[in-house]
Amino acid sequence: ISMLSHLREAIVRESLDFVVQPKFDGNNRVIGAELLARWLSAEYGQVPPTTFVPLAEHNGMASALGNLAIERAAQYAARLATTGNPLPVAVNISALHVMDDALAGTLRSACQRHRITADQLELEVTESVFMENSRAPEARIEHLRSLGFRVAMDDFGAGYSSLGYLKRLPFDTIKIDRSFMQDLEADPRSRHLLAGIVGLCDRLGMETVAEGVETKEQWQLLQALGVKQYQGYFLGRPMAMEQLIERLKT
Ligand code: G
Ligand code: G
Ligand code: MN
Ligand code: NA
């Protein structure tokens, strides 16, 4: 049997795991968490999401995977709130799923069942949402935002990023791709670009998150460049929800 049929079964049986990676403010306080899918297969071992997410997307399972993630994100957001930390939980949403008519209803239903408000969920979409959809995704994303869900542009600067996307759509947050962090110390051009993106987003009323912060040196440089939100191995790796709750107690 193929990996695809095992993946289909894992999704149908809801046997994927979800870890969370915290996001931090400049004072190292946790301000939210991103949900990340993990698949431990009996046949293939730990399969990376860079393998199984595209496999799901290319085989009609983008929404099924996304629905599982939304359900878990809502559950985790409710859990965080009961521990006194009503932090938003961010969920990665495939470009195809954004255009699914059922998405808004799925999100609202998850919020109702878990007794959370829309602003306790954040949707992370990549710029591929603009390239893979022939119909304009603006209306869908505006609708989701009008319902109170926060929407972030993920991996900004990774691909054929166009400033036009920022013009077309007011995102709540821009997540600056980790490729910018990698040469931050060595390359002044990267620093100028990053500072420019942060300034631009400030003026457009969008928050910025630096992703993939791996070293103290990068983190210090980012502080100096005006970044206010951070994510990356230096500050916190993806972890089980229980671990995050323990960490929030200290
Ligand atoms: O967690 P990790 O760095 O291994 O994730 C690799 C890629 O898989 C990232 O692009 C991430 O956004 C994506 N990813 C992780 N979990 C999910 C998920 O639940 N849904 C979708 N659509 N993508 C995910
Ligand atoms: O595309 P997206 O930003 O959703 O991808 C998140 C992925 O990035 C996850 O797979 C996560 O494991 C990974 N990640 C998170 N922090 C870091 C980091 O500091 N360095 C690297 N290389 N990857 C990271
Ligand atoms: Mn993401
Ligand atoms: Na990202």
pLDDT digits (tens, 9 = 90+) for 84-137: 999 999 999 999 999 999 999 999 999 999 999 999 999 999 988 888 766 778
- Residue with token string 């600056």: 176
- Dmax over CA atoms of the chain, in Å, equals 53
Ligand 1 pocket check for 134: Cβ under 6 Å: no
Q: How far is ligand 4, taken at its centre, from the CA of residue 156, in Å?
A: 8
Q: Which pLDDT score is estimated for 129?
A: 82
Instruction: State how far the alpha carbon of 26 is from the alpha carbons of 57, 80, 146, 147, 219, in Å.
Output: 36, 21, 29, 29, 9
Span 210-229, mean pLDDT? 96
Percent of the chain past pLDDT 90, that is, above it, reads: 87
Instruction: Give the position, in ligand 2's atom list, of the atom nearest the Cα of 211.
Output: 16
Query: What is the pLDDT, as a whole number, of residue 62?
Result: 96
Q: Which residues contact 122 (CB under 8 A, 6 or more apart)?
A: 32, 88, 89, 90, 91, 149, 150, 151, 152, 172, 173
Hey, whose CA ends up nearest to atom 10 of ligand 1? Answer: 50
**pTM for the whole structure:** 0.96
Rounded distance from Cα 99 to ligand 3 centre (Å): 18
pLDDT in tens, 194-215: 999 999 999 999 999 999 999 9
Ligand 2 centre distance from Cα of residue 78 (Å)? 24
Q: How confident is the model at residue 160 (pLDDT cuts 50, 70, 90)?
A: confident
Give residue 250's pLDDT: 82
**Sign of the CA dihedral running 175, 180, 181, 185:** negative
Interface confidence, given as ipTM, is 0.97
Region 78-84: mean pLDDT is 96
Band (71; pLDDT cuts 50, 70, 90) = very high
Note the pLDDT of residue 161: 73
178 lines ligand 2 (CB under 6 A): yes
pLDDT of residue 135: 74
Residue in 30, 63, 31, 38 with CA at minimum distance from that of residue 173: 31
Confidence of residue 144 (pLDDT cuts 50, 70, 90): very high
**Distances 57 to 61, 62, 97, 152, 156 between C-alpha atoms, Å:** 5, 4, 9, 20, 21
Which ligand 1 atom sits nearest the alpha carbon of residue 238? 1
Q: Which of 7, 16, 23, 36 to mutate to test the pocket of ligand 1 (most atoms within 8 A of CB)?
A: 36
CATH of domain 3-249: 3.20.20.450
